[in-house]
Amino acid sequence: MPTIKSLDDLKKIREEALQKRQAKVESGSIEIVVGMGTPGIAAGARETMKAILDFIEKHKIQDVVVRQTGNIGLDSWEPIVQITVGNNPKVTYGKVKADLVERIMKEHVIGGKPVKEFMIEA
Amino acid sequence: MREITLHLLDIAENSVAAGARNIDIIIEENILNDRLYLSIEDDGKGMDEETVRAITDPFTTSRTERKVGLGIPLLKDAAEACEGSLTVTSALGKGTKIEATFQHSHIDRMPLGDVAGTIYSLIVAHAELHWKFTYRVVNAAGEAKEFVFDDQPIKETLGDVPLTEPDVLVFLKEMIYEGISQCKNHISYTGE
């Protein structure tokens, strides 16, 4: 049976994270926003969000801010994900089901190249 | 929506939109009394009586200028179809509490769905708010077990390290999934 996580475990994680941070070169922050209004949720936005968090965890990506927001106003394109990398303009993706997350995260967040075929004109 | 936790997510987003700073969520599965109870309480801007009426019954309101979402009426219909009900208690400037009950064993009751994943994504994606989550189960023998997750001590411990730090995500996910699954195991325990 797995042991219950304690705040002491978390303190260790914090110290390690702060050390890594000092060693890291400034690459600019990443912001990811998932539309979580009623249409987004009905279209599968929760699974999309979980896939994004799993990707960050698996690939150990740092300095990412992940948020969810209400309706973005493009209901037929839900689930909608908006990604901003550093000072580049915000990119809006439509119909981002959980199975598209891996590709968008790999090419855009890690590789720095937005995935044109899933982008929508906002 | 096909899961009660998707409705929960929807209502919690309303609380966020209402400017809440503290959101308290309770899910109780009571096998002994055959009830499923859901509560979302926030300290957001609250609503006046007319708005409360409008959100629970959007098609009979005389007002047309207000854009009313369908999230709450959908949950109300789902609860009422399962020998349950939905109540909205709200006061302007104080906050809103939404409670829904279902007959647990009702054939039409949609599944609870992914409780842990819902809580995990709410906490991480609205890290600026204080979340308290309680999952309580009472099994057929009347024995209760609960998992309480309050993100305040976690954030205090982390200081300026964000919840999206990869190792912190692993920590949160394991803590929440483990807490929920221990309660779920308790539901099927019959006391023998």
Q: Is A15 on the interface with B (CB under 8 A)?
A: no
Whose CA is closest to B37, among B112, B88, B89?
B112
Which residues on B lie below 8 Å from A37 (Cβ)? Answer: 10, 13, 69
The residue that leads in pLDDT, B171 or B68, is B171
- pLDDT value at B164 more than 70: yes
Of B69, B122, B175, the CB nearest to A38: B69
CA atoms within 13 A on the CB side of B57: 7
Q: Quick count: other Cβ atoms within 10 Å of Cβ B15?
A: 26
Residue A13, chain B, CB below 8 Å: the answer is yes
CA distance B59 to B68: 10
pLDDT value of position A24: 57
User: Is A17 in Cβ contact with B161 (below 8 Å)?
Assistant: yes
Query: By the 8 A CB rule, do A77 and A29 touch?
Result: no
The single-letter code of the amino acid at B104 is H
> Domain map of chain A by residue range?
27-118
Looking from the CA of A52 toward its CB, the CA atoms found within 13 Å total: 32
The Cβ of residue A49 has, within 10 Å, a number of other Cβ atoms equal to 30
* Nearest CA-CA partner of B52 in B92, B25, B15, B23: B92
Say what the pLDDT of residue B54 is.
81
pLDDT in tens, B74-103: 899 999 999 999 999 999 999 999 999 999
Token look-up 């914090």 returns A14
Q: Over the stretch A27-58, which tens digit does the pLDDT of each residue have?
A: 568 999 999 998 899 999 999 999 999 999 99
Q: Which residues contact B69 (CB under 8 A, 6 or more apart)?
A: A37, A38, B14, B55
Matching CATH number, B4-187, of 3.30.460, 3.30.70, 3.90.550, 3.30.565: 3.30.565
Average pLDDT of the segment spanning B19-27: 97
**Beta-carbon pairs below 8 A across chains A and B:** 97
Structure-token match 């475990």, residue found? A9
- pLDDT band of residue B65 (cuts 50, 70, 90) is very low
- Kindly identify which residue of chain A lies nearest to residue B159, measuring between CA atoms: A14
ipTM of predicted complex: 0.88
Q: What is the pLDDT of chain B when averaged over all its residues? A: 91
Tell me the CA distances in angstroms from B120 to B25, B67, B99, one per residue in order: 13, 30, 21
* pLDDT for B66 beyond 50: no
pLDDT at A111: 92
Establish if A11 touches chain B: CB-CB under 8 angstroms.
yes
Tokens of A28: 């600019």
Q: CB distance from A70 to chain B under 8 Å?
A: yes
What percentage of chain B has pLDDT greater than the value 70?
92
The fold of A27-118 is: Glutaredoxin (3.40.30)
The tens digit of pLDDT for each residue in A90-114 reads: 999 999 999 999 999 999 999 999 9
Do the chains contact at B175 and A4, CB–CB below 8 Å? yes
Choosing among B5, B151, B165, B174, which should be mutated to test the A contact, i.e. which has the most A CBs within 10 A? B165
Domain range list for chain B: 4-187
pLDDT at A1 over 50: no
